[in-house]
Amino acid sequence: MKKDKLKDNCEIKKEENIKGKPVILKLNNVFKTYYLGEVPTHALNGVNLDIYEGEILVILGPSGSGKTTLLNVLSGLDRPTSGDIIYKDKDNIAKYSERKITNFRRKYLGFIFQTYNLLEHLNVRENILVGSKLGNSKADIDSIISVVGLSRHKEKYMYELSGGEQQRVSIARAIAKKPSIMFADEPTGALDEKTGKIVLKTLVDINKKYNTTMIIVTHNPGIAEIADRVIHVNSGNIDKLIVNEDKVKPEDISWG
């Protein structure tokens, strides 16, 4: 599969196929500015974006483009210098106090990072239980373990698992709190192609089963093929938005 397949299968257009889905996050004229002495650098330069409930959104861009800054601002890990971030058409989380934004992340958001941050002294099931205790409702832990394909490993400790299996534990832990939105920052960055595709299939399966909005930041353009929409970030701006008309199964995507 050629790397330009995404271009062939997608077209830039108004989002007719998203119509009917509610907007879960809206960015209005968002700036993030850093200063080196008195010289400003706009990591985000007036970004406007609607993110829809239940979609998979992939954020692509070169190093230093602002894609990780965008994820951090969307998720409340960082504050915009100016602009609004509206959750479900009512709450402007950009204006939240530190305590309120921490509670918001705990209740509504899940995070998957390149480093797994698992508890080595706990087994798979116990690590996932830690995530469920952060949520507002009881999670079916065994069902989640099954979705991520770890039923045979639920009593194992982290040293007994491969890197890909540990990443799936971290995904299961994040989904156990039943988040509205899952943020994944380079979730396959430390994995080989075969293992990375297994992890991506896990994300797609969770999106389908729980209708969890997925926001994935990656440097790998092949991952964009699993998305409903793809945004390209460059110099703090969204310079391209693509609606994927023909999504590809994770096992069939191009890699690298």
| pLDDT level of residue 136 (50, 70, 90 thresholds) | low
Q: Which of 87-101, 136-150, 159-173, 206-220 has the lowest mean pLDDT?
A: 136-150
Six-digit token string for 28: 């209005």
Rounded Cα–Cα distance for residues 119 and 157 (Å): 9
Segment (H or E) for 60: strand 56-60
Is the model's pLDDT at 9 over the cut of 70? no
| Confidence (pLDDT) at 180 | 93
User: What DSSP letter does each residue of 132-181 carry, written as one string?
Assistant: HTTSSS---HHHHHHHTT-GGGTT-BGGGS-HHHHHHHHHHHHHTT--SE
Q: Which of 10-14, 101-105, 119-123, 188-192 has the lowest mean pLDDT?
A: 10-14
Q: What is the mean pLDDT of residues 140-158?
A: 92
In terms of Cα–Cα distance, which of 243, 200, 208, 204 is closest to 50? 243
Q: Could you report the per-residue pLDDT of 97-120, keeping only the tens digit for each?
A: 999 999 999 889 999 887 888 999
Rounded Cα–Cα distance for residues 168 and 244 (Å): 26
Tell me which residue has tokens 């194992």: 156
User: What DSSP letter does each residue of 171-229 carry, written as one string?
Assistant: HHHHHTT--SEEEEESTTTTS-HHHHHHHHHHHHHHHHHH--EEEEEES-GGGGGG-SE
Is the model's pLDDT at 85 over the cut of 50? yes
Rounded Cα–Cα distance for residues 100 and 96 (Å): 6
| Confidence (pLDDT) at 207 | 94
Q: Which domains does the chain have, with CATH numbers?
A: 5-252 (3.40.50.300)
| pLDDT level of residue 126 (50, 70, 90 thresholds) | very high
Q: What is the mean pLDDT of residues 168-181?
A: 91
Cβ within 8 Å of residue 90, ≥6 positions away: none
Q: Could you report the per-residue pLDDT of 25-70, keeping only the tens digit for each?
A: 999 999 999 988 888 889 999 999 999 999 999 999 988 899 999 9
| Confidence (pLDDT) at 1 | 38
Is the model's pLDDT at 11 over the cut of 50? no
